[in-house]
Structures are given as C-alpha cells and as structure tokens.
Amino acid sequence: MGHRIIREPRGFRVITEMFEDTAKRIPNREMARMRRGGRWISYTYSQAHDRVRKIAEFLQKEWSIKKGDMVALVSENRPEWGHAYLGILWAGATVIPLDARLGPMERRYLMDFAGVKHVIASERYVPEMLEARKDLGLKGILSMDEVKEEGIPNFRDVDEKYTGIDRVEVSPEDLAEILFTSGTTGSPKGVMLTHNNIMSDLEGVYQVIPIYEDDVFFSILPLHHVYECTVGFLAPIYIGARVSYSRSLRPDHMLQDMKDTRPTVWLTVPLILEKIYTRIIREVSKAPTTRKAIFNVFRSTAKIPVVGKKLNKRLFKPLHERLGLDRLKFMVSGGAALPLWVAKGLEELGFHVIQGYGLSETSPILTVTPPHDPRLPSVGVPIPGVEIKIFDPNEDGEGEIAARGPMVMKGYYKNEKATKEVFTEDGWFLTGDIGYMDKDGYLYITGRKKAVIVTKGGKNIYPEEIESKLLESPYIEEILVFGAKNPQTGDEEVQALVYPNLDTVREEARRRGITPDDDFIYNLVQQEIERLSKDLASYKRVKRFALRYEEFPKTTTRKIKRHLFKGMYIEPGEKVKDAGIEEKE
C-alpha cells in the first residue's frame, strides 16, 4: 500500500543548482506569468535566469553581500518575488521572506530580531522600508519597481547595469531561508530551513506526484509561506512547469485569471475550497426543480465503482469550464485538514482532490494523498524519505504525530529552548498535531494538541472534529469551538463562537417573512447545531455558543488564530459577542 514511485529523483544538492539546470535545459519555456495593466506579462526560464544572475551581482558589488548573509524579501505575489528569492540564494545569502500581510511594526520587529540590514521590496513596501531604515539602520533597499524616492535602485537599473555572475557555491547544509511566525512580543520562532531540507522535500514529491513540464500551476497563496514557496514555486522549477499568478484575491480577479490560465494544478487551502463548494450548492438550490434533480443525479454517479469519478468529470464539464478548471488534473489542499463533506462534495462534482500534510518546520510536505488510491479523510501516506510515528497513542491509536527525515528543519533561529522542546533525544520532531495511522500507513489528523479539550471524565475532545461537522450547515460561515471552564462547577465544557452566513440567513428570513434579528439568527443556528450534533458523542456536543458578526482573524493560510480567543467564556444567556447585525446590513 502507499505511494507508487513513478520516477527517480534528479539528485540536486542545492536550490540554485536545480534552477540553473532547468534554465539551461528549457531556456525558452515560460516560467511565470501574471496579468498587469490589463495584459499578461511573462518571463521565460532564460529571462529569469539572466535577472537572477544580475541581482546576485548587484548584491555582491553594491551591498557587499557574502555567503551566509541575510536579505529580507517583502512583496505581494508576483513573478519578481521569485527572481529576488533566487537572486539572494544565487549570491550565497539566506532569504528572510516577510509576510506581506503583517503590519509594518510586526515586520520591523522581525527584521530587527533577525538583524537584517538589506531588503528587496516591491514598490508598495519601499516607503515602509525607508522608515525602517532610520530605526534599524538598514544599509540597502532594492525595489522591484521604479520608485519616486531618490537613490533607491530597482530591477530595471540592475538589468541595465550588470551582466550577471556565476552562482556562489554553497553546501546543502547551508541555510536557504528563515521563516518567521508573526508576533511583536517575546522571541518569534524563525524556522531555519537548509537547502537540503527543501531539496529533499521536492525530491520526495517529485517521486510520487505526476506533475510534468506541460503542467500549469495557478498561484493564489502567499509566496512567503513555505507551502506555496516549496510546492507552488520551487516544485514547478524542479519539473520545468510554469506558474500563473492571480493578480489579487478578489473573487472576480481570481475567476477571470483562472479562466484565462486554465491550470492543470491548483494549490489551495480548505477554507477556499469550502467557499467554492458551498457557493456552487447555493446557486443550484435556487435553480428550477428539474435542473436541481438532474444535478443531483449527476452527483450520485460518483459512487459508481471504477468509472464514477471519470464519468462525473465529463458530466460536470460545463461547470469546470465556467470556473476555468476544465484542464485541472487535481486540486492540492494543504495548510489545514479539509472537511470530509467538502472533499466528498468536490469529488462528486468531478474534481480530483489531493491532500497534503506538513508544517513550516518540515519544508513542509510530510504526507500526501497517493493519486491512485485516495482515502478520505486521510491526508495520505509519507513521501519518500519521511518517517511518521504516533507518540503516546491512546486506546484508539490517537497520539501526537512525530516526524523524522532530511526535510525537518535545522531548528529555530536564536531559540535553542524552543528547538529542544520540539525534538526528542533520538531526533523525532513533535508536530503538536494529534492523529492516527491505519494499518496501511495512511495518516489521519484529528486535532491540535494545544486545542484539545479534556473533560472531567478524562475524555479528549478535538475542536476541529466538531467544527468540521457543524460547518456542514449552510447558515454557519465560520465557527470556533473551544473549551471553557464553568466558574460555578469548575468543569471544562464545550463552547463555540459562530460567524453566521448572513446571506443564507437573510434568504431563510425572507422565506419565512421574518426580520433577521439576533434572536432569529441565534435560534436558527441553535437548531442547526442540534441537528448536526446528533451523531456526536454527548460529551462532544456544544453546551453553549454565541454569535459574532465579523470574520475571525486568520493566518496567511486561512486558519483561525485560536490563541486570540484563549480564556474566553460565554455566560449563560449570552447570545452575541462583538457587533450587532445592524453593522452588516
């Protein structure tokens, strides 16, 4: 059981060697494209190679960058982000990718912590870097675009002035990048990834996932995040495929760019897939009865053994074409567990969904769904080179997931204490995730160790399991389940915050001829929670919940920031936390 090895790894030692090989092997093939100013701009591998060599020469001659130095990189998603990333590595330096969605003070804090003195930025972030230069003593700012500020060089200047240098020789054990978590207090965790960490992960994926030179990736996730950087940026280079970047995350922009791209591979996260699926189902629910009946008949064919999935891809071809996904080989879902009902629903619509699991600390991929044998809701089996072990399993086989292999990070930057806490003496990395493996080696994620709710009777409750179930309701847009200690009894009880889907709520209110006030919404959500909780053990059911009328704050991979709600308690009779519905009308 498990993965079929479809080819042998290519044996690259470092990232720049890999890029150089691809650029020389297929110089005229398009590497990346993006719509800009109403038209598509693109770069071939040869053009990117030339610019990378020139950026590296600039870093050496203008900034005296040498092997092992750190250069920060901040920009929205665009092909030039990749040129900067590779140019920094080409000069032998280490990339510090900064989250473009953080606030300026958070970025400044991380740069100060890392001791960064040089940065490459897109035009949008140059003013911020000029401000940071005063406080942090930055020695150099290179802009991807032409800017008004005097004396700030840009990529066009670099292209015109320099001819390029050969890549600096580095060791596989040299640092390629340091990935920082957000935060402005304490010691942030900077994940140190070596060239070997990242290359071993790429080679593991290459051996088992059928992606080829003629594949087209569609990129929407932030490039600073290791999931998109490794799988959505570096993996296509390893293969020699091309990437099309969405100009923004606006739904209309994404849809138009996707339709123009017609990708074969799309990396995404569960929340986006969930929204796409629920929107499709919502549109169908408004269709005439006959059309709805045909739609449901088509969906049911997915259950036909052997031919069901292939048949559904044909039956739903018009839907796929409307989304620009008619050539799609598979969606790759990562960053969090994909709810089973979403995964099954997408497969019923003829989409092939592959799930992966990993962390920033593991470069990131540890497991991935074998394309020939997916088993929902499993996140797959370990890729070549990865060992997975369940630590301290309970009677159901659930325990903390641990991993070992060459893709596991070197450690946390300037944080030996945190590094020691996540490694065992014999080299296992403790992920903090809870899960189990079946007899065939398929891994299943059930929750986060930090989020676990422990009942008075010693039962473990994983909020993610309950959230996944309750999100099946069309009236619940987002939900956060947590444990709260009842001040009267001292018992830990299951509570929840619910962000309702106000569109479907209003539709239901109009259907009933009722005003959608707080009481109506609360009662509607309560009925849904009761309906969907029938299959849950009694100790797992939500005892008390409250509404909130704004989205939850999320990470860049669209996961709710649970730590912000630590210590929350919902009082008896409390129905709403935060703003009232009037603010959304």
Tokens, residue 71: 């250069």
Domain check: are 412 and 457 in the same one? no
* Structure confidence at residue 171 (pLDDT): 98
CB 526 within 8 A of CB 473: no
CB 422 within 8 A of CB 401: no
4 assigned to some structural domain: no
Q: Which of 250, 275, 291 corresponds to the end of one domain? A: 250
> In 221-270, at which residue ranges do the beta strands (DSSP E only) sit?
242-245, 265-268
Measured between alpha carbons, how far is residue 93 from residues 74, 199, 556 in Å? 16, 17, 25
Domain check: are 242 and 274 in the same one? no
Full residue range of the structural domain in which residue 316 is found: 265-326+328-448
> What is the DSSP secondary structure assignment for residue 44, as one 8-state letter?
E
For residue 245, give the CATH number of its domain. 3.40.50.12780
**Which tens digit of pLDDT belongs to each residue from 142-185?**
999 999 888 899 999 999 999 999 999 999 999 999 999 654 44
139 assigned to some structural domain: yes
Domain check: are 423 and 500 in the same one? no
* Structure confidence at residue 4 (pLDDT): 93
* Structure confidence at residue 546 (pLDDT): 94
If one counts the domains in the chain, the total is 3
**166 against 284, higher pLDDT:** 166
Domain check: are 164 and 303 in the same one? no
Domain check: are 269 and 361 in the same one? yes
9 assigned to some structural domain: no
pLDDT mean over 494-518: 92
Distance of CA 332 to the CA centre of its chain: 10
* Structure confidence at residue 580 (pLDDT): 39
Domain check: are 285 and 412 in the same one? yes
Q: What percent of the chain has pLDDT over 70?
A: 95
What single-letter amino acid sits at 142?
Answer: L
For residue 540, give the CATH number of its domain. 3.30.300.30
* Structure confidence at residue 585 (pLDDT): 33
* Structure confidence at residue 184 (pLDDT): 43
Alpha-carbon distance of 557 to 232, in angstroms, equals 14
5 assigned to some structural domain: no
pLDDT mean over 132-149: 92
Domain check: are 68 and 197 in the same one? yes
* Structure confidence at residue 581 (pLDDT): 41
With cut-offs at 50, 70 and 90, classify the pLDDT of residue 470. very high
Q: What percent of the chain has pLDDT over 90?
A: 68
Domain check: are 309 and 206 in the same one? no
Domain check: are 423 and 515 in the same one? no
pLDDT mean over 220-231: 95
10 assigned to some structural domain: no
With cut-offs at 50, 70 and 90, classify the pLDDT of residue 579. very low
Domain check: are 85 and 150 in the same one? yes
Alpha-carbon distance of 240 to 24, in angstroms, equals 11
Domain check: are 541 and 478 in the same one? yes
What is the pTM (predicted TM-score) of this model?
0.84
